[in-house]
Chain A
Amino acid sequence: MEQTVRQKNSIRQDNPVLQKILRVVVFILLIALAAFTLIPFVWMVSSSLKLDREVFAYPMHWIPETFHWENYSLIWQKVPLLTYFKNTAFIAIVVTFLQTLTSSFAAYAFAKLEFRGRDTLFLCYIATIAVPWQAYMLPQFIMMRSMGLYDTLWAMVVLQAFSAFGVFLMRQFYRSIPTELCEAARLDGLSEYGIWARIMLPLSKAAIATLVIFTFVGTWNDFMGPMIYLTRDFNKTIQVGLRRFIQENSSDYHLIMAASLCSLLPVSIVFLFLQKYFIEGIATSGLKG
């Protein structure tokens, strides 16, 4: 009895035809799911090339009857997209730079140096990761306003440049680097700054790549921060700028879709080239949600 079960199973496992069929089924299923996932983007592209009255026409054409490329030149005149892009790029680049630099610096102290109060201080960092930003955004806002930072791009910079998350991520990585390496370098007369610059930094390229991508994409896509802080149009980021355009021209569907697509492009390109780091970073650190 048991023998036959085992045989039946081994037949099922080894049967190449069955295996092949199973693989094809899984593949078709995956393609269907991928199509479902991408439908909104396809619809966005398709609608961005139509006239506004064609967007909701029935029956719907996935491929527009005539391609209205002029939508893409029209939006640059109707929306100050370039200003929005410039502001967002400024914030994203400065935040990413400051974040990576200061957190890898601080993480080195937490991971490889011994000093009084280290564990208490680190606990402080960890504890604030658990506190949702939405719970303290108001006092933060009041403070920033009293500092004269309200409605400036610098508000967005200082808001995001010193997050505890970066320090935590880098520290985890530095701890995996053997301490003997640092000690050997110390014996060779390298200062702590030298060790950081010449040994730790070059060894932590993968962790830095993860942090850079996360910070860049996070800042680029940030919505609530700019929504609270940036009110004048020339200060707006692409997210809140796009939203203002949507609210003011809510029936220009084709133009809204074209502008939305433009807002997606930079991050999509970054993702396309660096998706390996992105996905590996999540798989290993598994944090930030």
Chain B
Amino acid sequence: MKQGEQKLARARMGRMERKKTLIAYSFLAPNFLGFAIFTLVPVVCAIALSLFEWNGGDISRLRFVGFENYATIFNVKKVSQNGLAYFFNRVDLGIALKNTVYYTVITVPLTIICALALALLLNKIRGAVVFRAVFFFPYVASMVAICVCWSFMLMKDGPINHFIMALGIDFNKSWTADTTMAMWSIILVSVWRNMGYYMVIYLAALQGVPKELMEAATVDGANKWKQFLHVTLPQLRPTTFFVSIMMIISCFKIYDVVAIMTEGGPGRSTKMLVTYIYDEAFTKVRYGQASAISMILLIIVLLVTIIQFRSEKKFSND
């Protein structure tokens, strides 16, 4: 008798459980269906596709080649003969990697310095809302418009060269057509565009610096600069770390500015990882190789993300 009741109760529980799950799934379904089809499946396919050769056309042309695509993009044969210098100076992938790292290594610290400086200036000042909006505005302005505007301003007879010449520096070239300055024009636009965004994050973090710490430092005879160095900066460490990680990842994904301002040129001097992927995939229609390069990008971004996760644990344990 009692057993029967228990069974019944369990059955009812099971039914309720099932009903709950069904309701939950009904909430998830609209988003999950779209997400699964248009994101999850392609992510899985991306890994597989890098092991195949496919130069467009019918799917029957798909041919399994193993790691051949990777051997091609690394140009293993020539590199093993001529050494690493050959890889970074001649092979497309090497050049793209070198350029992307160069761009990242310069853009990240420059943006952080500008963002932090702006945040410090804006912290606790009247009219901050207006300034904040001004510095943030480039971030919402559309890429094509601002990039074409900058590349006009950086032209041979553009206002920036006029200004530089007035300062006595002789530079009579279009920035985006010069092999060294092309990269710097991309860095300039990137820093200019993103500094306001990270400034907002720093402003929020500055609110979190305890007032007592600042007061204690003042009592101990620290001037403004020492206060900044010994109190504010250490307090901002987690933010700076988080901002750097985010920025490194977004730097590795750079495409828009390059595509609009230099198209990877002159020569291959601003060819980036994503520019390379785009060319292989949509211009040269070499799907397998494009996927192999994508995997390189994926691995780099995932490595950076893992570092972030590890350190976040450390920060929260401290």
Q: Is the CB of A40 within 8 A of B149?
A: yes
Residue of A nearest to B280 (CB): A138
Number of interface residues of B (CB under 8 A): 90
Q: Is the CB of B249 within 8 A of A263?
A: no
CB within 8 A of B219: which of A6, A108, A128? A6
Residues of B within 8 A of A60 (CB): 159, 162
- Knowing A132-B297, A138-B46, say if A6 contacts B221 (CB, 8 Å): yes
Tell me if A21 counts as interface (CB < 8 A to partner B).
Answer: no
Q: How far is the CA of A55 from the CA of B156 in the complex (A)?
A: 12
Residues of B within 8 A of A224 (CB): 255-256, 259, 278
Residue of B nearest to A46 (CB): B159
A287 → B minimal CB distance (Å): 8
Tell me if B210 counts as interface (CB < 8 A to partner A).
Answer: no
Residues of B within 8 A of A118 (CB): 24
- The SS class assigned to the B binding surface is helix
Interface-located stretch among A29-37, A64-72, A75-83, A202-210: A29-37
Tell me if B268 counts as interface (CB < 8 A to partner A).
Answer: no
Q: Is the CB of A263 within 8 A of B28?
A: no
CB within 8 A of B201: which of A143, A196, A282? A282
- Knowing A130-B305, A161-B34, say if A37 contacts B135 (CB, 8 Å): yes
B130 → A minimal CB distance (Å): 8
Q: Is the CB of B144 within 8 A of A136?
A: no
A-B contacts counted at CB < 8 A amount to 261
Tell me if B277 counts as interface (CB < 8 A to partner A).
Answer: yes
Q: How far is the CA of A164 from the CA of B45 in the complex (A)?
A: 18
For B22-63 the 0/1 string (1 means CB < 8 A from A) is 011101101111110011111101100100000000010000
- The SS class assigned to the A binding surface is helix
B214 → A minimal CB distance (Å): 11
Tell me if A123 counts as interface (CB < 8 A to partner B).
Answer: no
CB-contacts of A252-289 with B (<8 A): 253, 256-257, 260-261, 263-264, 267-268, 271-272, 275, 278-279, 282-284, 286, 289
CB within 8 A of A124: which of B20, B24, B40, B260? B40
B243 → A minimal CB distance (Å): 9
B85 → A minimal CB distance (Å): 28
Residue of B nearest to A140 (CB): B42
Tell me if A125 counts as interface (CB < 8 A to partner B).
Answer: yes
Residue of B nearest to A218 (CB): B140
Residue of B nearest to A282 (CB): B200
A74 → B minimal CB distance (Å): 18
Tell me if A106 counts as interface (CB < 8 A to partner B).
Answer: yes
Tell me if A27 counts as interface (CB < 8 A to partner B).
Answer: yes
Tell me if B152 counts as interface (CB < 8 A to partner A).
Answer: yes
Q: How far is the CA of A221 from the CA of B127 in the complex (A)?
A: 29
For A127-144 the 0/1 string (1 means CB < 8 A from B) is 010111111111111111
Residue of B nearest to A281 (CB): B200
Residues of A within 8 A of B219 (CB): 6
Number of interface residues of A (CB under 8 A): 100
Q: Is the CB of A253 within 8 A of B152?
A: yes
Q: Is the CB of A162 within 8 A of B34?
A: yes
Tell me if B131 counts as interface (CB < 8 A to partner A).
Answer: yes
Residues of B within 8 A of A134 (CB): 253, 255, 274, 277, 294, 297
For B276-311 the 0/1 string (1 means CB < 8 A from A) is 011001100001001100110110011001000000
Tell me if B80 counts as interface (CB < 8 A to partner A).
Answer: no
Q: How far is the CA of A13 from the CA of B138 in the complex (A)?
A: 36
Tell me if A97 counts as interface (CB < 8 A to partner B).
Answer: no
- Knowing A130-B302, A135-B298, A138-B49, say if A47 contacts B152 (CB, 8 Å): yes
Residues of A within 8 A of B164 (CB): none
Q: Is the CB of B140 within 8 A of A271?
A: yes
Tell me if A180 counts as interface (CB < 8 A to partner B).
Answer: no
CB within 8 A of B249: which of A30, A132, A227, A275? A132
- Knowing A108-B27, A131-B43, say if A264 contacts B141 (CB, 8 Å): yes
Q: Is the CB of B46 within 8 A of A139?
A: yes
Q: Is the CB of A283 within 8 A of B200?
A: yes
CB-contacts of A18-65 with B (<8 A): 23, 26-27, 29-30, 33-34, 37-38, 40-41, 43-44, 47, 55-56, 58-60
For the complex of A and B, the 5 pairs showing the least CB-CB separation, nearest first, are: A162-B34, A283-B204, A139-B45, A260-B145, A109-B27
Can you list 25 A-B pairs, Cβ within 8 angstroms, ordered by A?
A9-B218, A13-B218, A26-B125, A30-B121, A43-B153, A56-B157, A106-B30, A134-B297, A135-B46, A135-B297, A136-B294, A139-B42, A141-B282, A158-B34, A162-B35, A239-B144, A260-B145, A260-B149, A263-B142, A275-B133, A279-B136, A279-B200, A282-B200, A284-B204, A289-B250
Beyond the given A114-B24, A130-B301, please list 11 additional residue pairs across the A-B interface where CB-CB is below 8 A: A33-B118, A55-B152, A59-B162, A106-B27, A136-B42, A137-B42, A139-B291, A242-B144, A261-B145, A263-B142, A271-B133
Binding site for A on B (CB under 8 A): 20-21, 23-25, 27-28, 30-35, 38-43, 45-46, 49, 59, 118, 121-122, 125, 127, 131-138, 140-146, 148-150, 152-153, 155, 157-159, 162, 192, 196-197, 200-201, 203-204, 218-219, 221, 223, 242, 246-247, 249-250, 252-253, 255-256, 259-260, 274, 277-278, 281-282, 287, 290-291, 294-295, 297-298, 301-302, 305
